[in-house]
Amino acid sequence: MFSRKISNLILSFLIAGGFLLSALQVNSEDLGDVDAPIKLAINEWTGQHISTHIAGQLLEKLGYSVEYVNAGNYPQFQALADGDIHATMEGWTNNLGDIYPVKKAEGTIVDIGPLGLDAGEGWVYLKFMEDMCPGLPAWEAMNDCAENLVTPETLPMGRFIAYPADWGNRSEMIIAALGLNYKAVPGGTEGAMVAEIKAADAAQKPIFMMFWQPHYVFAEIGEVAWVDLPAYEEGCDTDPAWGMNPDATHDCGVFKPETMKIAWSGFQERWPAAWDLLSSYQLDNASQEAMMYKIDVEGADIVEVTGQWLEDNEDRWNSWVSSAMGS
């Protein structure tokens, strides 16, 4: 209890980027258990790292200590349910895996709320490939040029670069359901996937790849386009009777996701002000993409980049902090 009082005294005189917290009425009940670190999940892509570090630095402005814990996109939900990790900042609602719905139904994890990114994903290719496959962007045209993407690894099928294995196997299921002559090869990491599409662009070689936006790489390469897959509808990924293939699910594209902030179910009770802050926290595509570029292309340090964003955008987060502290 004494340490909490000390933390509150420090907070009452703290100026964070010009924001005077002495105007706030701070008490230990607002903050909760400041003696325990809040553990935030770090997943496998740079955008999520950015979302998480901004959240962490905001929590530190309130007087919390923060730890960043590496966790796979799917396995993290078991750790959240167990309370070993306390929150994850950028869960894409179309790629949360099988553990998430089970643990949410149990009540051991809860949604904090949307992060605010205008997210999208699908199958991307380089625009010049439309000369090679005249039917593109229609998905049916992919088989007409599969022979141009055959590699020793995938012979006799074309090579399709899927998400890293930890992110699931949706592309593999879509390829099978649509009867496409491609083999899905896991991309390994975000960095490896970026290197693949940049190399293909530089060499003007064909490529099909599962990818997402926002992402900085689209500012670095030539024009891209997205395969027109059958439109997603509820039932496509669960009911074989839906769609063109009566014997398989996933004979469609992916639905437009939200990016969701998700927490251990005990988070709000243990850290009330932190919960309020994370509930208010929002991030936009332009901000995230600019920070991605600085980190992944220019080699800048993520703590410095996100810290600079907070310094430059004080007018955005002041209200989140103020609301969290009950002013």
- The vertex-106 CA angle with 101 and 112, nearest 5°, equals 65
pLDDT of res. 168: 86
Kind and range of the H or E run holding 59:
helix 46-61
Q: What is the mean pLDDT of the chain?
A: 90
In angstroms, the CA 47 to CA 288 distance is 6
Q: What token pair was written down for 307?
A: 């810290």
Please report, rounded to a whole number, the percentage of residues in the chain having pLDDT higher than 70. Answer: 91
The ranges assigned to domains in the chain are 2-116+259-324, 120-226
Contact 60, 21 (CB under 8 A): no
What Rg value do the Cα atoms of the chain yield, rounded? 22
Q: Which residues contact 112 (CB under 8 A, 6 or more apart)?
A: 87, 260, 261, 262, 263, 267, 275, 278, 279
SS3 259: strand
Domain formed by 2-116+259-324, architecture: 3-Layer(aba) Sandwich (3.40)
Tens digit of each residue's pLDDT (9 = 90 or more) over 5-52: 334 444 434 434 444 343 344 455 589 999 999 999 999 899 999 999
- CATH code linked to domain 120-226: 3.40.190.100
Tens digit of each residue's pLDDT (9 = 90 or more) over 260-306: 999 999 999 999 999 999 999 999 988 998 999 999 999 999 999 99
Summarize the confidence of residues 74-91 as an average pLDDT.
Answer: 97
Lowest mean pLDDT among 6-10, 68-72, 220-224, 237-241: 6-10
Query: How far, CA to CA in Å, does 116 sit from each of 73, 143, 302?
Result: 19, 37, 20
